[in-house]
Amino acid sequence: MVIYLAILMALFLAALDQTIVSTALPRMVEDLQGIDRYAWVATAYLLASTALALVYGKLADTYPRKHVTLGAVGLFLGGSVLCGLAGEFGTLPLLGDGMTQLVIFRGIQGAGGGGLFAMTFIVIADLFTPAERGRYQGLVGAVFGIASVLGPLIGGLLTDHAGGVIPGVEGWRWVFYVNVPVGAVAVWFIMRRMPRLEPQGDRTPPDLLSGALLLGGLIPVILALQIDKRRYPWLPGLAGDVTGLAAWTTLALILFGLVVLTLFVRRSRTSRSPILDFRLFENDVFRTANFATFFFGAAFMSVTIFLPLYLVNVTGVSATRAGAALIPFSMGIVFAATYAGQAAVRIGYRKQIVAGGLLFVVASILLARMGVDEPYPRVVAYMVLAGFGIGPSLPLFTLAIQNAVDVRFIGQATSASQFFRQTGATVGAALMGTVLGTTLGIAFAALELPVEMTEAPGASAEAFVSTGGAGLPDRIREAFEVSAASAATQAEAAQIRAEGEQVASETGAAIRNAFAEATSRIYWLTAVLLVVATTLSLRIPELPLRTTHDRVSSPERPPAAKNEE
């Protein structure tokens, strides 16, 4: 149990780091003067953690789990220290200025964080049989939920108030330094109390070429999904003012990545020790559960990213209240994930996943039907329902996969589940972002603005979309005020001001309606994704949870689970 708690402690740090940075990021880019690389701080972490997920699974199937876990924790803590030091010594050779250093070091941190996510489930699989495992993996879902709630709060507190702890050390740097003492405790327990946990079966070292092909294919694809589509459109010609190399960048990255991933698949099918053994896809549970996980991941990301945008830009609540609306969502996840893990032995996994998927579909439909005057408590209630819906899938997909595969491939199977979930989240965020940008672009292009504004620099629809129409009504009032100042009479000036107020009011309403329409489309599409995910979940074979660790098949191939309805 001590080892389990130490692993959860390390996992909590990695999960916390995904959200704690968000509230500190504005201060970081202000101090490091890197607003143009704002998004890269999160993208670097996501790139590294997603791309290396499968690699950690193979390492865990080849080397002692203790060593792999310590390596992941070490990378994460080392990356945390480096992130805290970013920019302290000015511009450095090869590493560039402070903001570039932060992006690079976040990649190192993500490389460790991705390993912590994978190794947590793999170590739990070693410590507990599938019949016992559900209750412990349910607590992992609770850790994620708690981290998502506490992360923004802790990040804000450290950024605002930790600057005086050590003179000259900015508060935002403690967002990273705080990982070190807690992580050190986890390392101590792992080193002193955790057994080696030797993997079973073939110990052939991983095929380095297949690993290189995997990373070489994933990185450009994920990068293509993450980059700003206003500067790098999906296809040449979609953004009229973007020409040359930038117009082809996204398409080129995707095509290059797909070609390299094709080579990865071909290499993996012939290699003796591939990073991912594709014979695992012959297993009905592994194949179906991972495909369903992909769509659940896309839906999960769609809900969490775009709800605050709706609340701020449509209902007009503060950023603090918008973020607070995600707390009930997280609490719903904590409760549902914990209960689902505890009930897995009695109820099984498929019924709970399907029931949760149906709840999530209902919640998405309710979110899609929200209007411009939706009461805040009602939105919170929808998010609670969504949390109850997604909660069971977090521990139970992994449990179903681990229960079905040969124990010699538990590392690869577990990391594949994490990989498909994160990839789905990345694709979902990119897809929904395109829906948002397209809807706002069409709506803003139809706005009737004063001539003085339409002829001014940066007054295109694309420019308004990039800012979400922020301050646009005030700019309209200012334009009419300029016209009123040159009016011949007071009456004429008053009439111009009244007209300006009306146009500003109508524009504000149009912006709210545009965001409401975009949000509605996003959540309707989310509901469609969830219908697909739930339908796939219905096809997952329900296998009895094993009470031992002894499922080992012949050396030639992993076993294929049979349908047991």
Whether pLDDT at 458 is above 60: no
* Partners of 96 in beta bridges: 92
Q: What pLDDT score was predicted for residue 552?
A: 46
> Taking the mean position of all CA atoms in its chain, how far away is CA 392?
18
76/422 Cα distance (integer angstroms):
18
453/464 Cα distance (integer angstroms):
12
pLDDT digits (tens, 9 = 90+) for 481-497: 777 777 778 888 888 78
170/497 Cα distance (integer angstroms):
46
pLDDT, average across residues 304-314: 82
Whether pLDDT at 390 is above 50: yes
Query: Looking at per-residue confidence, does 470 or 339 come out higher?
Result: 339
Of 407, 418, 428, 359, nearest in space to 387 by CA: 359
pLDDT digits (tens, 9 = 90+) for 509-557: 888 888 889 889 999 999 999 999 999 999 999 998 887 765 544 444 4
319/77 Cα distance (integer angstroms):
31
Q: How far apart are the first and last CA of the chain?
A: 34
**Whether 114 contacts 56, CB under 8 Å:** yes
Whether pLDDT at 332 is above 80: yes
Of 462, 496, 465, 469, nearest in space to 481 by CA: 496
Token pair of 296 as six digits? 């659940």
HSE-up of residue 42 (Cα within 13 Å, Cβ side): 15
Query: Looking at per-residue confidence, does 520 or 302 come out higher?
Result: 520
Which amino acid, 458? G
Q: What pLDDT score was predicted for residue 171?
A: 81
> Is the full-model pTM beyond 0.85?
no
Q: What pLDDT score was predicted for residue 443?
A: 78
SS3 234: coil
The 8 Å CB, 24+ separation contacts for 470-473 are 472/507, 472/508, 472/511, 473/504, 473/505, 473/507, 473/508, 473/511
540/404 Cα distance (integer angstroms):
11
DSSP string, 284-315: HHHHHHHHHHHHHHHHHHHHHHHHHHHIIIII
Per DSSP, 283 falls in state S
480/506 Cα distance (integer angstroms):
14
**Whether 159 contacts 175, CB under 8 Å:** yes
SS3 92: strand
Token pair of 148 as six digits? 């998502």
Per DSSP, 229 falls in state T
Instruction: Kindly indicate the confidence band of residue 452, based on its pLDDT and cuts at 50, 70 and 90.
Output: low
Query: Looking at per-residue confidence, does 144 or 556 come out higher?
Result: 144
Token pair of 189 as six digits? 């327990």
Highest mean pLDDT among 166-175, 438-447, 461-470, 530-539: 530-539
559/314 Cα distance (integer angstroms):
52
- Say how many C-beta atoms besides its own lie within 10 A of residue 361's C-beta: 21
Which amino acid, 88? E
Residue with tokens 């996003």: 522
Q: What pLDDT score was predicted for residue 306?
A: 82
Polymer length of the chain: 565
pLDDT digits (tens, 9 = 90+) for 88-126: 888 888 888 888 899 899 999 999 988 988 888 888 888
Q: What pLDDT score was predicted for residue 465?
A: 54
Per DSSP, 96 falls in state B
Whether pLDDT at 42 is above 90: no
Whether pLDDT at 429 is above 90: no
Q: What pLDDT score was predicted for residue 463?
A: 58
Query: Looking at per-residue confidence, does 164 or 219 come out higher?
Result: 219
Share of the chain above pLDDT 70, in %: 90
Q: What pLDDT score was predicted for residue 355?
A: 95
Per DSSP, 278 falls in state G
**Whether 67 contacts 128, CB under 8 Å:** no
pLDDT digits (tens, 9 = 90+) for 170-191: 888 988 998 888 888 888 988 8
Range scoring the smallest mean pLDDT among 74-83, 281-290, 316-325, 431-440 = 316-325
**Whether 264 contacts 376, CB under 8 Å:** no
Instruction: Kindly indicate the confidence band of residue 504, based on its pLDDT and cuts at 50, 70 and 90.
Output: confident
235, with CB counted inside 10 A (0-12, 13-18, 19+), is exposed
Which amino acid, 158? L
pLDDT, average across residues 420-444: 82
Q: What pLDDT score was predicted for residue 20?
A: 79
pLDDT digits (tens, 9 = 90+) for 188-244: 988 888 888 888 767 788 888 988 998 899 889 888 887 777 778 888 877 667 777
Which amino acid, 541? P
Per DSSP, 198 falls in state P
Query: Looking at per-residue confidence, does 379 or 244 come out higher?
Result: 379
Token pair of 289 as six digits? 């559960």
Of 325, 440, 438, 342, nearest in space to 392 by CA: 342
225/223 Cα distance (integer angstroms):
5
Handedness of CA 389, 390, 395, 399 (dihedral sign): positive
Spell out the residues 6+ positions from residue 393 whose beta carbon is closer than 8 angstroms to its own. 292, 293, 296, 353, 356, 357
Mean pLDDT of the chain: 83
Q: What pLDDT score was predicted for residue 383?
A: 92
